[in-house]
Chains A and B, each alone.
Chain A
């Protein structure tokens, strides 16, 4: 028979030893520090972008910045940003032309028409598309889609806006599908059954009841898709080339904001040159735009959500 436990003693020893007390005191502050790192990261992003972009904007007149001539490496450099914005918008529009119709109809199919089993098999495969690294899509665009399109459009350049736009759209399909499907799934079954009981076909229920009810979620999925397309880098860096010409011709090479950053840093951008600072100016515009889109998407899905 050993000594019987004396619970009271153990508690008193633990509490008065200070060991527990100390860890109880310092542990929360450690976790708080970890949590605040995410805020520090955001502040860091804004500060780096703003500081170096400031160097850029203080040296280059605004009239030149919003011009169409971009030639960062020429002896008389010019930093018009419009060709980059133009390239970004055009490739994103092409991507949306692919992603919105296919993504939305696939979401409607999965959420409203497909049987439970079909859904269970198809959804993970769709998600596989989302899990493929973008560099792989870039390779696919350049080595498969562009040569394929060249057979259809003879004057298509080896680097062009069309092929990366299409592939970017394909990349975004799973995003549109899964977010829209979530929105449609959130519409309660009672509403669906009510409409069916009135004699509507499934298509009518979908188009007149479910889609309107899930509209805010669907729209915000589109906005997030635009934001993804604008921020997408590797596909356009590989397949869209680095022409800095201001053009609306999608068969020609054009450069997006993201591709400009990648091209310039992988080359020799000496720190302190205007070309180096221009990266941060472009980055700042890119950051502001995607942040705006993300906030807008959050606002829409929160503000216009139908509560059931």
Chain B
């Protein structure tokens, strides 16, 4: 009895002491309130910030939904197999797809050859000096040049100077220069990731530098290089501005046979059809259907890139 009393008393005094202390130093109630407020603000901020991300996702789904809705009923086998026409009911994109495919047959070998060679030079041959840093800065700045400027370069150099006009070759070379920085940077990363001991082992059994690069470094870096190249090609396939600047005519009815022919490609056709919706409303549906084809193509390419990265890339 006495004991509990004592304890109570003790508690009492403790409390009063605590009260006295808090009165002099800080008001515990207001501190509690402040902490509560801070926690509430923190939680609210988290909600608000997450909304931004949700907004981006929402836009993405609206965009995809709108395009699918617009293309509904227009995207069918006939659309893929017939050629361009002024009549929206009869128009198809067979020739346009061929144009894009031909374009890629120029872009892929050119960017691979030039991009990988540049990366090999920068990582394996160049000494860490001024020249190397100039080339590196130059490549990162080239990556920031607006694509329409590359169009002007292509128009002057390939279109007029080399007299290629608005052929597949002129377009392909222009796009190659545009996406080259992507391949270079990706290949550099891939080559850098090949550990030094593999090279040392190769040298130790008497291989020369070129043999080492050919037989050891490149095979080990291949998945990374391929991933970067596919991403760059998918950038090139969707690029419009440089090709429009090259002066590709609006309506090309002839299906291109070789890389010297005039052509039209998926993004250009989307552009012209979108512009012409003022004249014929159905062109919007054709544009949407072409966009679906383009997006499916991009999706496939990116999936392949991710597959290669996950399946073949080794971590040393």
Binding site for B on A (CB under 8 A): 11, 20, 23-24, 27-28, 30-32, 34-39, 41-42, 44-45, 48-49, 52, 101-103, 105-106, 108-110, 113-114, 122, 125-126, 128-129, 131-140, 142-144, 158, 170, 173-174, 177, 201-204, 224, 227, 230-234, 237-238, 258, 261-262, 265-266, 271, 279-280, 283, 286-287, 290-291, 293-295, 298
Contact = CB atoms under 8 A, between A and B. Distances in A.
A203 B42 contact: yes
A177 B62 CA distance: 20
A256 B10 CA distance: 80
Contacts of B152: 45, 48-49, 261, 279-280, 283
A184 B142 CA distance: 26
Given A201-B39, A234-B240, 19 more contacts: A27-B210, A31-B118, A38-B181, A42-B138, A45-B153, A106-B53, A106-B55, A109-B46, A114-B50, A122-B53, A133-B294, A202-B46, A233-B240, A234-B271, A265-B247, A286-B148, A291-B141, A291-B144, A298-B140
A139 B148 contact: no
A202 B274 contact: no
A261 B151 CA distance: 9
A195 to B, nearest CB: 13
B177 A227 contact: no
A133 B125 CA distance: 36
B41 to A, nearest CB: 6
B298 A113 contact: no
A291 B138 CA distance: 11
Contact of A128 (B60, B121, B270, B287): B60
Q: Chain B: interface residue count, which band?
A: 35 or more
A233 B38 CA distance: 45
B48 interface: yes
Given A114-B50, A143-B66, A41 B153 contact: yes
Nearest to B40: A201
A24 B52 contact: no
Given A31-B125, A139-B291, A266 B42 contact: no
B118 A38 contact: yes
A91 to B, nearest CB: 14
B63 interface: yes
B52 to A, nearest CB: 4
B157 A227 contact: no
CB-based closest 10 A-B pairs: A231-B146, A133-B238, A34-B117, A109-B49, A31-B121, A201-B42, A294-B144, A233-B241, A35-B121, A106-B52
Contacts of A11: 206
B227 interface: no
Interface string B113-145: 110011011101110000000110011111011
A108 B145 contact: no
A125 B60 contact: yes
Contacts of A232: 146
Interface in B41-59: 41-42, 45-46, 48-53, 55-57, 59
A143 B70 contact: yes
Contacts of B277: 142-143
B148 A258 contact: yes
Given A136-B67, A143-B274, A231-B148, A37 B49 contact: no
Q: Taking each of B145, B206, B209, B239, which has the highest tally of chain A beta carbons within 10 Å of its own beta carbon? A: B145
Given A122-B57, A170-B59, A139 B274 contact: yes
Contacts of B295: 132, 136
B302 interface: yes
Contacts of B126: 32, 35
A138 B270 CA distance: 10
Interface in B199-230: 206, 208-211
